[in-house]
């Protein structure tokens, strides 16, 4: 699972790189360029929402995230959350009756 998460993070970085390249040197037709930019803005918005939810959930547990982890949530989105949820949101204690 860690290898898959790592590959997906790299793929997300490639998507961000493609967007930056498209902003600098747009080779797409006008309609495709507008559609691509709208999709990327929507993705950025959803990543910010994921960041907001994760940080508030971690704070409710009484823990604090590092600045790098917060940045990685915005950049890689769900793929970073898959690795961080086990670190911050699961309870390590298992109570037996």
Number of separate domains in the chain: 1
Give the Å distances, CA to CA, from 95 to 49, 50, 61, 79, 90: 33, 30, 18, 30, 13
Q: Enter the pTM of the model.
A: 0.76
| Predicted confidence band of residue 83 (pLDDT cuts 50, 70, 90) | confident
Q: Helix 2-24 to helix 30-60 angle, to the nearest 10 degrees?
A: 140
Question: Mean pLDDT across the stretch 66-91?
Answer: 84
Could you tell me if residue 80 is inside a domain? yes
R_g of the chain, CA atoms, integer Å: 17
Could you tell me if residue 94 is inside a domain? no
Could you tell me if residue 91 is inside a domain? no
Could you tell me if residue 9 is inside a domain? yes
**pLDDT tens sequence across 24-74:** 887 888 898 889 899 999 999 999 999 999 889 888 888 888 899 889 889
Could you tell me if residue 26 is inside a domain? yes
């Amino acid at each position: 699972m860690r290898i898959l998460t790592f590959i997906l993070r790299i793929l997300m970085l490639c998507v961000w790189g493609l967007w930056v390249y498209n902003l600098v040197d747009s080779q797409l037709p006008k309609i495709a360029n507008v559609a691509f930019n709208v999709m990327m803005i929507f993705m950025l918005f959803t990543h910010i929402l994921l960041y907001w939810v994760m940080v508030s959930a971690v704070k409710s547990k009484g823990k604090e995230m590092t600045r790098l982890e917060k940045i990685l949530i915005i950049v890689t989105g769900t793929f970073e959350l898959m690795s961080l949820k086990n670190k911050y949101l699961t309870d390590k204690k298992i109570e037996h009756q």
